[in-house]
Amino acid sequence: MNMLVLITYDVSTESAEGKKRLRKVAKQCVNYGQRVQNSVFECVVDNAKYRQIKAILEEIIDKEKDSLRFYILGNNYKGKVEHIGAKKSYDVEGPLIF
């Protein structure tokens, strides 16, 4: 069963290595969901995909300098997300166009 997971990250970009980690984290998140803000992705995934992206991101970050946060909103998420302001909301279950 699919669930909505919000992935947020803060990667230190004070060094070239940090900037490289930031690009890698963002690139992986794009493979699993939709960017809704600079360091925030909404991903509709099943448990296996969630564990997969979590493991991939944990391997990329430097746990001494960077952080990841996963908000698991579950499969009954339609009423849990409210959007106000620029960048219109999108249908998270709709097709992703590449």
Contact between 36 and 44 under an 8 Å Cβ cutoff? The reply is no
Q: Worst-scoring range by mean pLDDT, 17-26, 63-72, 75-84, 86-95?
A: 86-95
Q: Is the pLDDT of residue 93 over 70?
A: no
Q: How far is CA 39 from the centre of its chain?
A: 7
For position 98, what pLDDT does the model report?
A: 47
Average pLDDT, integer, range 69-73: 95
What digits encode the pLDDT tens for the residues 15-50? 999 999 999 999 999 999 999 999 999 999 999 999
Q: 25, exposed or middle or buried, with CB in 10 Å at 0-12, 13-18, 19+? A: buried
Q: pTM of the entire structure?
A: 0.82
Cα–Cα separations (whole angstroms), residue 39 to 27, 30, 48: 11, 11, 23
Average pLDDT, integer, range 7-22: 97
Three-class DSSP category at 76: coil
